[in-house]
Amino acid sequence: MEKRHTTAVLIACKNGEATIGNAVRSAARQADVFVVSDGSDDRTSEVARRAGALVLERDTSGGKPNALRAGNKTFSLTDNYRYIAVLDDDTTLAEDYVERTTATMDGDVTIAAASGRIDSLWDYTRRWNVFVAMRAFTYWSYQIAIKRGQNALHVVNVICGANTVFRADVFRRLIDKDAPYAIDDMFWVAEIARLQLGRVAYVHDARSWTIDPHRFADWYRQTVRWSWGQFQSVRGHRLGSPLRRDASRRGGLRFSWFDLAYLALLLDWLPYMLEPLVLPPLAFLFRDWLDPLWLVGFYLATSLGWIGLVAVALRKPRLVLLAPAIMALDLVYRVTMMHAIVKAIFVPRVATCAWTSPERFELEAR
């Protein structure tokens, strides 16, 4: 493939024939696209080539980080490109995604990696699917309420594995070794902080879409895995500790705003997780001073209000009708976080960062 752009898109994919074509086509208009078919036994390679990608085929799967490392080595990407964008095989980019993210990085040399807004591909067939609705709700809530504020303070602590653009030299260092956590991007953001490679930026105007699980078992497993990887990184990299040892600093300590922001996030998550366990007994103990129905009413009113706001922002009024299901899944989400904490305690590291992707649906014409 003749080099036509300063950005290379790299996609590691296993058995993604249903989605890889759309991912490659959305990226090929704005970057040179390279796909690693990681032990696929379907038509992934054929579909990716037809869509415009250069493909490396591997007979056996080694997991996403291993596949990305092989793709970078085979195609010499970090030697020939300024930026490396890592996408999932079900990611769709807006036509100006690369331009917006790289322009932000061009304007600030301290940015090591940048990702844009991610939304759920919520097609007509699955318009009443509660799991897709829950992801659409969650993405918008987190990006608006948390990530934009973190970006303003230069303390973004999450890299989106589906749509992140890295400086080539940063990417080379990050994939030099295997990720020891369940999620590679959780390891990468922790390494960026540990090695002081720069900061992570969030570019809200750069839009992308992903296919989310549409069945409960897939949704639950993926949600647990995401949180498990995050809690592994908290434990393994001691994230949330604002004072870091640094022999080069006076006093041997370095203050980290990134970790202070991470600590604030963890302190926010703690009551969120424990609320369903703590509030019922408290409501019972203080029932003579406060009618428990007031607590129920407050929870329902605030939840419905927030869901209504998201429905307006996303222009998806059906979210309001799905509100009871979303509130139920919100309680299950807290269970997944507790499940993930237990997993991180007993399984703090993994030998190989590999997983089986949830069943994905073929995209309808957009």
User: Which is more confident, 292 or 180?
Assistant: 180
* pLDDT at 258 exceeding the cut of 80: yes
pLDDT digits (tens, 9 = 90+) for 276-322: 888 888 888 888 888 888 888 888 999 999 999 999 999 999 999 99
d(CA 105, CA 84): 12
d(CA 298, CA 300): 6
pLDDT score, position 129 = 96
| Mean pLDDT value across residues 229-257 | 89
44-58, 99-113, 159-173, 350-364 — which is least confidently predicted?
350-364
CA 321 to chain centroid, in Å, comes to 27
| Mean pLDDT value across residues 318-347 | 97
pLDDT score, position 306 = 96
Q: Which long-range contacts (CB under 8 A, 24 or more apart) does 269-275 make?
A: 269/337, 272/334, 272/337, 273/334, 273/337, 273/338, 275/334
Q: How confident is the model at residue 207 (pLDDT cuts 50, 70, 90)?
A: very high
| Mean pLDDT value across residues 126-144 | 96
d(CA 341, CA 227): 8
Stated pTM of the model: 0.92
CA 329 to chain centroid, in Å, comes to 19
67-76, 139-148, 270-279 — which is least confidently predicted?
270-279
| Mean pLDDT value across residues 122-130 | 93
* pLDDT at 323 exceeding the cut of 50: yes
Percent over 90 (pLDDT), the chain? 80
94-103, 155-164, 263-272, 350-359 — which is least confidently predicted?
350-359
* pLDDT at 358 exceeding the cut of 80: no
Q: How confident is the model at residue 1 (pLDDT cuts 50, 70, 90)?
A: low
pLDDT score, position 365 = 43
User: Which is more confident, 207 or 282?
Assistant: 207
Q: To the nearest whole number, what is the mean pLDDT of the chain? A: 93
pLDDT score, position 329 = 97
DSSP 274-327: HHHHHHHHHHHHTTTTS-HHHHHHHHHHHHHHHHHHHHHHHT-THHHHTHHHHH
| Mean pLDDT value across residues 93-97 | 97
